[in-house]
Structure 1
Amino acid sequence: MTLESQPTPFSSLDDYIALPRVEGLALSPDGQRVVLTVATLTRDQTSYERALWSVAADGSGVPTRLTRSAKGESQAAFTAAGDVLFVSGRPDAAVAEKDTEAAQLWLLPAAGGEARAITRLTGGVSGIAAVATAARSLVIAADLLPSAADLEAEGAARKERTEKKVAAILHESYPVRFWDHDLGPAEPHLLAVSLADLHDTIAAPTINSEADAPAPYPADLPRPRDLTPTPGRTMDTAGQALTPDGSTLIVALRVAEQRSGRYVLVSIDVATGTQTTLFDEPKVDFESPTVSIDGRQVAFVRSAVSTPDGPADQEIWVADLDGGHPRRLAAEWDRWPSSLVFDSPAESPADSSQALIVTADHDGRGPIFRVPLDGGTPEQLTTDDFSYTNVSVDAQTGAIVALRSSWITPAHPVRISRSGVITTLATPAALPVVPGTITEVETVAGDGVRVRAWLLLPAGASMQHPAPLLLWIHGGPLNSWNAWSWRWSPLLAVARGYAVLLPDPALSTGYGLDFIARGWNSWGAKPYTDLLAITDAAEALPEIDESLTAAMGGSFGGYMANWVAGHTERFRAIVSHASLWSLDQFNGTTDNSEYWQSIFSAQGMIDNSPHQAVRDIVTPMLVIHGDHDYRVPIGESLRLWSELAEHHATADGSTQHKFLFFPDENHWVLKPQHAVIWYETVFAFLDQHVHGANWKRPRLLG
């Protein structure tokens, strides 16, 4: 595929971070319109604000903005009546205290008019968990303090902690952190909300008869009803779905097990809160439940817990709503589902018993598949170079609406007809012109297995003007370079003259279970040799200057960057972001230690730890980490930096290596101004060591 060579937003980091981006999609019950969540850069360029936009689901018309507030809106969903639900921290005119930061659930009427808040929880709403498609009910997620007996007491307890500036948390179980935030003291709950209890009245001001009495929950709002009292961490769910009539909630509920836990499938009667376990097996997770349109069946993903002996498969199952007649679908299909919903055949929209619509990584893409419920072979519905997310099925026509993206096209909404015709829908986030060209490269590894990659080339790259090569290693490791990422943008490097290689080595998804198993419990073996083999293939192309090659990666990609640094001298520079360095240290300090220890044997942890090769590093390294990264804690890069200095610094302490540290960022570095500094530093470091340019310190680094 050839891309435009004209000036693009990727030539300027400021222009790049200012590009609007589509982050979510919701399809209306009648299939007529789509609501998009669109993020745009704030005026001070230090964050993104989000708004909801409406577009026609048939590809006609122009986008219409639905919301506008300083706090922004997200997590859009539709009620059965066509009203739009969303979560926002925007001010509520009915609240006396205007400085609250807690996000609430809001409703924008389909008939028109102002949006109104329909919850007033002191700690706010975490998200919309599930919405009934044929009733005025939904379930929300919210964190509540464990000592509170009701919503009023919960509000009072929060107020007291705030007033006394108490931030301490008492933990009585593991885990204590997740990705970038501390867990507790509040615990996750699922709360039922009936929109039938929402009244349009003029509420009289509430006056407490006792000065210290907790403020009563507003009488004009539907009172959230706790379906999960005293949950602990069990409501850190792996998905949930409501039956169309709103009577039953199917939840992938977490059952604690010493330092970890497994997910079991549970049915909750919304009226009574009674829980019934549908599926529960030792060392097996049941996740991602979805309910059929007729409310009679539930589909889910079943996966055994992986061990050092090998990765477990992720299986698609379907059963009656009460758990009866369970059966596995597509047993011979070894792709891992990333989402699943019931199909709605156009010829019989009410009968969703025929198939599931499933997305899965596949050969460097993320297609949509139809998986028959009769045990038939999955059918691939999309064959383009895109990955699909946020998939919804139009119950009226059976058409599919989704977001799709690739490495040259950001996420944008499309409609896929029953005949397979894809129509691009309107969007307020116009697709940007991108630089260079994109193609595929593949090779055969030493064990005879095919290894492939995307290769992006800058404009003008040729035999006469070969481009330097940047090997960019993906994270995960159970992942694939198959979809657009605003955080990792190879087009920024392409715009600066670099060719970028995006390979899927052993452990990557989309190539089958055996391909993943090639690198299991041996991250430094075939994943490493696959990377070198595909780099060889790319360097053999006439458009590539094989003498000017660098490598970089984040998370698992950072691990591999560290491993590469200690095992070869072929690269001119290496960038290691949020990397694993010493596995014995990492496995006890990450936010999910039991998992990481369970997938490595004791010897595998020793054999595959990059820190043991620190003395052999000769390539200049740029180490990058955020202090709020709890998945790969900062201690990894602190130790890496210390040991680089110990073994490679000169007598006066100077070194060719550099360490870029973000005190207030997490695993990804998300603030736009910090993303700019991240790329400025990376490109300055690459230019210094790949092109021999003088080091240019980014201005805002002081």
Structure 2
Amino acid sequence: MSAFNDIRDYVGIPRVLSLKLAPDGSRLVSVVQSLNPDGKSYGTALWGIPVFDPAPPPPADKDREPARLTRSTKGESSADFTDAGDVLFTSARPDPTVKDPDEEVPALWLLPRSGGEARQVATRPGGIGAFRTAGQVVVFAADVLTGEEAAEEERRKARKDAGISAILHEGYPVRYWDHDLGPGRTRLFAATIGDDRLEDVRDLTPAPGEALRDVSFALTPDGSTVIATWRVFLPRGELRSELVAIDVASGEGRVLFSDEAYDFTGPIAVSPDGARVACARERLTGLDLSARSELWIGDLATGEGATHAPDLFPMDIVWAPDSSAVFIVADHQGRRPIFRVPLPERRSSRRESEERANEERSGRDNWHADAVRLTSDDAAYLSLSASQDGRFVYALRSGVDAAPAPARVDAVSGEITALPSPAPALELPGTLTEISATADDGQEIRGWLVLPSGASADNPAPFLLWIHGGPVASWNDWSWRWNPWIMAEQGYAVLLPDPCLSTGYGQHMIDRGWGDWGPRTLADLDAIVDVALARDDIDADRLGAMGGSYGGYMANWVAGHSDRYKAIVTHASLWNLDQFAGTTDASMYWQREFGDPGSERYAKLSPHHALDKISTPMLVIHGDKDYRVPIGEGLRLWWDLQRTGVESKFLYFPDENHWVLKPGNAVAWYETVLAFLAQHVLAQEWKRPDSLA
């Protein structure tokens, strides 16, 4: 039976989360998430994945199969290799060498290449987060309380024993996605790999304030310099991000890249020759200035740099081993290919910047510029690693119709070889096809259409419009949380469109919808929905619509501006924009696009102004721990629907955030959505889900 038929089977499918290549190219390591024995939570473990060339005689079968490397109740994450081939990872598992540890927080562990048990090599009272390694050097991020470091553990314990959870903030922001900020501050520490533990641990950033919150960082190949994002706090709650270079030996730092009109952010990668740094440069938005991200490559010595591959939003970056090019992944036409960006020999960075600026001014026809698409399939790639011999790029390969799995890509031809995966291949209950439409302004709108098995002119499928979040995003990847194949298993045709504001179609596609969310997006959606409904294998009378986050905003907008759908599901949705923009975790970002509270765009674009036009039954879903779209949006929407008599239900998760992550709650989510759609789209009698009985 299909794993998509019973949601309980679906949530038990193992999930490959990451991929990293050993320095000698001999193996890969991956973090894999799977259901814990209690069935109530997920755990993670490290898996080794063999790398072999199919041209010579194949190795023994046992050498072809992935092997589990770690087991613990707390799980393991953030795996990476040392130059010696040992595996470093973080885990909150207890240290067997310490009797009765006071508290289990993430620590740094080392799994020897030669085999044997993993050992803890570093810990901090507030835990260890991200880390990077080069040569014998390890740099890691840790949460540290302000004050005397030697007494930090005692101060944390005293705070806990006193029952103090309060946090005194003196600046903005105070929350991020699903967690509170403070009272600790992120710092970077450097250390040397010793025989049993990290040695010579030293604080590189003793007084960063809030500058290293959610830091992205990389190490130069010789381990001498850390390249890190550094937040600059501005008046009126604004901030921007610079890139700084910190000397590992002295802790001295300098600003590497800074521009008042841009953020310099991760991903960050340093060239193998140590001369250049690649990162993402994001334009600071405004009322009439849309979101834009681009590949930035600069000189580590001088700080001068230039943009490359305009209009490709880089999501991952890795250098070719000879430093002659970078490989990036970026959304493109409903896919996320690997691109190769060849670089000229090092020259005057000022001249290079001028040439790039001229390219940008040349318009949309030049929007790929110097990027060469390496992969030509329909897949989405992530977690890039380049082999030291320059022959291959390793990555996780996925797609709307394929869960992430390891793959090897020829760095010249783009030929793709599937590698053994720790997770099983999935049989899908339908097929994936591509459709497009022309919007009222002449813009082509494309999308993916999931068709259930058996859909035909004699048996047309009910239709479900699924609107993506973001809004600067695209339907191009597998999603465990928003999986259309569960709906296809129940007989629905699911349209996954990329309207305005979607990435992968050039900057003009984002510009079209900037500051015009509802009206422009709905016109695009209507155009491609019309094309889908013209098919004889889709039932044009049985329609539903749904979306989450920005997709939830659009679901609310559709409810107030269209009566073509028989049911609407809105998850983590924006309802009252003025309220949302002042209570979200990043108000400064959204108010750049909408303006100060009470300005014209709130009145024009807030879905709640069309409450009196809503007659379609609605299912409202929200998690209490959602700080990006706070619970007040869901509560206000639910009350407005109730007080105006709109048929509606409210699925509330007290312990979930912007997403629904716990397996039991995921079961309840899908069962409730399917029951609601069955009632209103399929005209079946309402049946309360068994999971909520």
Counterpart selection for 1:645 from 639, 642, 645: 642
Paired residue for 1:193?
191
Q: What is the alpha-carbon distance in structure 2 between the residues aligned to residue 483 and residue 99 of structure 1?
A: 42
Paired residue for 2:370?
377
Change in CA separation of 1:16 and 1:320 when aligned onto 2, cut-off 3 Å: same
Q: Deviations over 1:276-304 (max 9, x none)?
A: 11122213111223100111111222232
Paired residue for 1:131?
133
Q: What is the alpha-carbon distance in structure 1 between the residues aligned to residue 66 and residue 498 of structure 2?
A: 37
Q: What is the alpha-carbon distance in structure 1 between the residues aligned to residue 128 and residue 222 of structure 2?
A: 23
Whether contact under 8 Å (1:279, 1:323) holds in the other structure is no
Paired residue for 1:303?
282
**1:163-562 maps to which residues of 2 (within 5 A)?**
163-195=161-193, 198-200=194-196, 221-237=198-214, 239-258=216-235, 259-288=237-266, 289-330=268-309, 333-344=310-321, 351-352=322-323, 354-374=324-344, 377-418=370-411, 419-562=413-556
In the alignment, structure 1 residue 80 sits paired with structure 2 residue 83? yes
Paired residue for 1:625?
622
Q: What is the alpha-carbon distance in structure 1 between the residues aligned to residue 274 and residue 680 of structure 2?
A: 61
Whether contact under 8 Å (2:406, 2:420) holds in the other structure is yes
Deviating more after overlay: 186-195 vs 534-543: 186-195
Counterpart selection for 2:99 from 96, 101, 113: 96
Q: What is the alpha-carbon distance in structure 1 between the residues aligned to residue 517 and residue 331 of structure 2?
A: 21
Paired residue for 1:117?
120
Amino acid at match of 1:186: G
Q: Deviations over 1:482-519 (max 9, x none)?
A: 00011111100000000100000000000010011111
Amino acid at match of 1:230: A
| Deviation, structure 1 residue 324 | 4.3
**1:528-607 maps to which residues of 2 (within 5 A)?**
528-601=522-595, 602-607=599-604
In the alignment, structure 1 residue 29 sits paired with structure 2 residue 8? no
Q: Deviations over 1:20-54 (max 9, x none)?
A: 11011111000110001111101221111111111
Amino acid at match of 2:438: V
**What 5-or-longer segments of structure 2 have no aligned partner?**
54-58, 345-355, 357-368
Whether contact under 8 Å (2:295, 2:312) holds in the other structure is no
Q: Deviations over 1:522-570 (max 9, x none)?
A: 1012111111111111000111000001000000000000000000110
Q: What is the alpha-carbon distance in structure 2 between the residues aligned to residue 366 and residue 194 of structure 1?
A: 37
Paired residue for 1:204?
none
| Deviation, structure 1 residue 191 | 1.2
Whether contact under 8 Å (1:343, 1:398) holds in the other structure is no
Amino acid at match of 2:158: E
Q: Deviations over 1:331-353 (max 9, x none)?
A: xx322111222112xxxxxx21x
Q: What is the alpha-carbon distance in structure 2 between the residues aligned to residue 421 and residue 522 of structure 1?
A: 41
Amino acid at match of 1:249: V
Deviating more after overlay: 221-230 vs 576-585: 221-230
Amino acid at match of 1:45: G
| Deviation, structure 1 residue 397 | 3.2
Amino acid at match of 2:299: D
Paired residue for 1:144?
144
Q: Deviations over 1:449-472 (max 9, x none)?
A: 000110001111000000000000
Amino acid at match of 2:326: L
Paired residue for 1:217?
none
Amino acid at match of 1:644: L
Q: What is the alpha-carbon distance in structure 2 between the residues aligned to residue 303 and residue 397 of structure 1?
A: 30
Paired residue for 1:154?
152
The two structures have a TM-score, normalised by structure 2, of 0.93
Deviating more after overlay: 575-584 vs 523-532: 523-532
| Deviation, structure 1 residue 239 | 2.1
Whether contact under 8 Å (2:375, 2:415) holds in the other structure is no
Q: What is the alpha-carbon distance in structure 2 between the residues aligned to residue 387 and residue 186 of structure 1?
A: 37
Q: What is the alpha-carbon distance in structure 1 between the residues aligned to residue 7 and residue 375 of structure 2?
A: 33
Paired residue for 1:614?
611
Paired residue for 2:632?
635
Amino acid at match of 1:168: A
Q: Deviations over 1:625-663 (max 9, x none)?
A: 000000000000111111111222xxxxxx620001001
Paired residue for 1:694?
685
Paired residue for 1:3?
none
Q: What is the alpha-carbon distance in structure 1 between the residues aligned to residue 110 and residue 326 of structure 2?
A: 30
Q: What is the alpha-carbon distance in structure 1 between the residues aligned to residue 303 and residue 500 of structure 2?
A: 38
**What 5-or-longer segments of structure 1 have no aligned partner?**
1-6, 201-219, 345-350, 649-654
| Deviation, structure 1 residue 162 | 1.8
| Deviation, structure 1 residue 71 | 0.9
Local SS of the residue matching 2:521: helix
Q: What is the alpha-carbon distance in structure 1 between the residues aligned to residue 189 and residue 510 of structure 2?
A: 39
Q: What is the alpha-carbon distance in structure 2 between the residues aligned to residue 103 and residue 144 of structure 1?
A: 13
| Deviation, structure 1 residue 575 | 0.1
Taking only the aligned residue pairs, the percentage that are identical comes to 51
Q: What is the alpha-carbon distance in structure 2 between the residues aligned to residue 617 and residue 687 of structure 1?
A: 20
Whether contact under 8 Å (2:31, 2:45) holds in the other structure is yes
Q: What is the alpha-carbon distance in structure 1 between the residues aligned to residue 27 and residue 3 of structure 2?
A: 30
Deviating more after overlay: 283-292 vs 26-35: 283-292
Local SS of the residue matching 2:627: coil
| Deviation, structure 1 residue 99 | 5.7
Whether contact under 8 Å (2:435, 2:532) holds in the other structure is yes
| Deviation, structure 1 residue 237 | 4.6
Amino acid at match of 1:95: V
Whether contact under 8 Å (1:310, 1:521) holds in the other structure is no
Amino acid at match of 2:277: V
Whether contact under 8 Å (1:463, 1:542) holds in the other structure is yes
Q: What is the alpha-carbon distance in structure 2 between the residues aligned to residue 248 and residue 428 of structure 1?
A: 35
Amino acid at match of 2:317: L
Q: What is the alpha-carbon distance in structure 2 between the residues aligned to residue 670 and residue 27 of structure 1?
A: 28
Q: What is the alpha-carbon distance in structure 1 between the residues aligned to residue 214 and residue 568 of structure 2?
A: 38
| Deviation, structure 1 residue 325 | 4.3
Q: How many residues align?
A: 655
Amino acid at match of 2:476: N
Deviating more after overlay: 90-99 vs 584-593: 90-99
| Deviation, structure 1 residue 316 | 2.0
Amino acid at match of 1:678: W
Q: Deviations over 1:104-129 (max 9, x none)?
A: 0000011222110011212211222x
Q: Deviations over 1:383-429 (max 9, x none)?
A: 11100000111112331000011111100000112332211111120
